Structures are given as C-alpha cells and as structure tokens.
Amino acid sequence: MMPTEEELNDLLKSWTVPQTPASLEGRLRSAYRDRSTPGKWSRWVAGLSPATGLVAGMSAGALVFLLVIAEAFPQTVTGLSGTTFPITADFEEIAYNANGTSVVLERFTSAGGGLVLSSEFPGDPLRTAQQRILDPLSLFLFRLAAPIRNRQGARFARLIANNPLLAERVAERQRTCSEPGSPWTVVGTQTILNYATTGIQKVWMEEGKPVRLTQWSAPDLHCFTLKSTTEKTFDGELRPAFEQRALKVTISAPATTPDRPSR
C-alpha cells in the first residue's frame, strides 16, 4: 500500500535541512547590546569610588585566574568528550550600524547544526574566558546525547528505505539545500570558499517593518550554512544588520556521532 501525500509530508518533517539556529538573531542582538552599553556589574563597580583601586586589583586578579583556567580546563573536557566532526568551519559574526559602520561581535568554530566548539569575543577577554569554559561543556553534553541522535538517525534511515518517494524528496533536498513548500525561497547560487552554495531567503515583519534573512548553504558539505545575512529596514529600505560568514572550512575524519544518514 502506497503512503498518501499527507503521510509522506509527515515523514519528511522528521528531517530538515540544517539552518542557522533560530536563536541567532537574539544572540547577535544581545552580544551587540552587551558591547555597546555598560552592564549592571560595571555600573556597580564604577559607583564604588573610594574602593576603586582595590576593586580594580581584585578584578584584575580574578580575570587572570579565569584566563588561566580557560586555557587548561577546556582541553581536558574536550578530550573527555571523545567527539570528532567531519566538517568544521571558522566564522565571524558582524553587526552593521545604520550609518554603514560595522563591528565584529564574535569569532567562533562550529560543527554545524548550531553546535559551537570554541568562541572568541574581540575586545572582551573576560567574556572570551568564560565562553572557553562553557563551550567544552556543551560539547561534552552533546556527546552524552549521542545515543538519542543515533536512534533517531537509524529510524529515519529505515523510513527512507521503506518509502522510495520520500527517499527521492530527501535526495533532492540534500542536492539543492532547499525545502519545497516552506517559507524559504531559492534566490540563486554563490561560490563561498570554493564551495558552490544555494541561497534561500525568507521575509517577515518585525515592529511593522520587513526583515529579510538569506542563507547560503553548500550541498557538498551536507548543506552546511557558510553565510547568513539579516537585513532590516532603515530609512524605508532594507540594509544589512547582521552577518555570519565562514572564514575557513576544515574537512577531517568521519564523525563519531553522526546526526544524519549518509547519502
């Protein structure tokens, strides 16, 4: 008995092309806001005028201690995770102001699917040190969840094997890095770091003004997104507001915890 169109659509929804995490917008906004305005801690310290020298010394000591820990601790946790990835990429995130100026918010290495392996915040050594501790912990938790991901991958592989039409749709999605019938529209192709990418785009309204998100993903890298741009409305026209772009792609040994069935 052949499955109905509705049943195939339900099956297809169990696997989707990896996109830039939905939290990216809020993450970029938060990072830019944190860099642009003094935090509560900074304002509190600034108000301790009589003890400014003492507080500054204590803060410097704490910063040095955190930096030392950040250098030693992550390597230990990363080693314990035992996880390798077939593809990783070095990125930078950029925020653009209405006047056209820009600032690099973050540089990081990602294994795709929103998993960040390491981060650096230019001009903010304390936040960089904090993140160097948190990133390996995230990797360790990722490793612990491997059995669940493996079961999901095996289940989806069985679904594909038993449904030729579904397998055809998945193969087309992997080939084009697009999803027919979704809010995304294919807008063209572009070569990034010598990889051919497919551009998909969607538009929505925010505070009554259009926002446009465009992503460029490489079929040869299992639809790894190498570039993502967010445009917002300034003076009645869409202009770049945020950008995430790959600086380098590294191909290594097969992953120990695959998230997707092989082609």
Query: What pLDDT, in 10s, does the model give residues 208-246?
Result: 999 999 999 999 998 999 999 999 998 889 999 999 999
The vertex-153 CA angle with 150 and 154, nearest 5°, equals 85
pLDDT in tens, 37-86: 444 444 444 444 444 444 444 444 544 444 444 454 444 444 444 567 88
Can you tell me whether residue 23 is helix, strand or coil? coil
Arithmetic mean of pLDDT over the chain: 74
Quick one: pLDDT at residue 245? 96
Write the DSSP string, 72-105: HHHHHHHHHH----SEEEEEEEEEE-TTS-EEEE
pLDDT confidence of 160, banded at 50, 70, 90?
confident
Q: Quote the CA–CA distance of 88 and 111 in Å, as a whole number.
A: 4
